[in-house]
Structures are given as C-alpha cells and as structure tokens.
Structure 1
Amino acid sequence: MRVQRFLIAAALAGLPGFDGGRAAELVMVEQPGCSYCEAWHDQVAPEYPKTAEGRFAPLVRVQLREGAPEGVTFDRPAVFTPTFILVEDGEELARIEGYPGEDFFWGLLGRMLEDHTDFNEGGDRQ
C-alpha cells in the first residue's frame, strides 16, 4: 500500500501545475467597528494583491467570531483585530497581531514570509 501511494504521488508530481499542497495564504481576522482594520483596508488593501507579497500569499478575510476558515488550523484563537495569520497547507506558520501602520506592516510581513516560507523579496520562490 505504501508503494502504491508513493507511485501515485510521484506520478502526480510530474503533472504540469501540480504543486503537491496548498499555497501560502494570509488570513486577516477582523471584526466590524475595528478602526485598525479600517485603516489597513484604506492604507494597504488596495495595493496588497498587486505586490509580490500579495501574489505569493493571497489575502483571505474572516470574521473574528467565525474562527479559522475551513481546512485551516490556527495554533491558538485570534483575540485581537486585526490579526494576520500566515498559513500554508492549512497550518499556521506565523502571525502579526494588530496593525502597526503601513510602513511597519510591510516590513513585518516581509520578514514573516522570508522566515517561514520560500518567499524572497523578488516575489519568487527560491
């Protein structure tokens, strides 16, 4: 049985477009009335999908009371909003709690991606 699974996985790995797992995502936990969430949406959200970081880890928004998205496991519940949780293959890798402003956010996000994924500043996988 193990040999069969290995052979199937090896065959799939050779298919174009098959990456073997879910890509990185940035889960933003927010709630209505959160002024820091609104600031992030005003200052960062319009640019985010156009950046190397946004292309590498697309944004998924969830409400605080809803918990983790389906198929995602957080290491611990989000308590503060916004909380930005980097996930890959459905597992939490790292998080930023709160919004420290646009300049600090980009630096923290870049460091988090470089430390916990194969992201590099050029936006390419290493």
Structure 2
Amino acid sequence: MCTPRPAAASELVMFERKGCVYCQRFEETVAPIYGRTDEGRRAPLRRVDVSDGMPGDIALAAPVRFSPTFVLVDHGREIGRITGYASDEAFWGLLGALTDKLAPDRP
C-alpha cells in the first residue's frame, strides 16, 4: 500500500500531464541537472500527474490548470508558481526569483 508522502520543508512540485510537449522539453533540458543545482538541493523536485488529482498535503493558492506548472512549496504552502515552460533560461530566472522568497537556510 502506498501512502502519500508529506510535503518536504521546501520543494518544487511539477504538475505534469502525459503527452505534454513542454513537460518533455523540461525533462530533456532541466531535469537531468536540477538535483545538482543549489535550487534543486534547496527545493527538491516532486512530480505530480494532474490526471491523478491534486495532492492533499499542499495548500495551493489557486487551482493548477496548465501543464507544466511548477509550484514552489514551503512547509506545505505555496510560495509562488511558474506556469508553463518556455526555455531553460526563462525557467532558471523565474525559479531564482521564487527561491529568493524562501527563508534563508539555517545551519
């Protein structure tokens, strides 16, 4: 039996859909290196298929309507989101602005 895992202190939740071309572009350009970046270590990537419904452990500010949508979550609450994926440059810039909203890491 699989139980839902609780939201991490900080995580980047990627809401995706099977057959999504922009999700595939993210998969090819960003996903292979994401976990090795400062952002990836600070907010690990979690994937949610929108067809499976919304996870109950995240308080979203608004419904997710498009894929991909990246929601930065801290302690189960949405901090901000990136709707869509245009390019890796745009993604990293937008993600940097979002992660600046997180509380500083504590030792």
**What TM-score comes out, normalization by structure 1 length?**
0.74
More strand by share: 2
- Aligned CA-pair RMSD: 1.6
Shift of 1:22: 4.3
Aligned pairs for 1:42-121 (under 5 A) are 42-114=28-100, 116-119=101-104
User: Structure 1 CA distance, aligned partners of 2:17 and 2:87?
Assistant: 18
More helix by share: 1
Q: Deviations over 1:32-67 (max 9, x none)?
A: 110000000000000000000000000010011223
Report the identity percentage: 44
TM superposition outliers: structure 1 runs of 4+ over 3 Å: none
**What TM-score comes out, normalization by structure 2 length?**
0.86
User: Mind listing any 5+ residue stretches in structure 1 that lack a counterpart?
Assistant: 1-20, 120-124
Say how many residue pairs are matched.
100
Shift of 1:99: 0.3
User: Mind listing any 5+ residue stretches in structure 2 that lack a counterpart?
Assistant: 1-6
Aligned pairs for 1:8-27 (under 5 A) are 22-27=8-13
User: Structure 2 CA distance, aligned partners of 1:79 and 1:51?
Assistant: 28
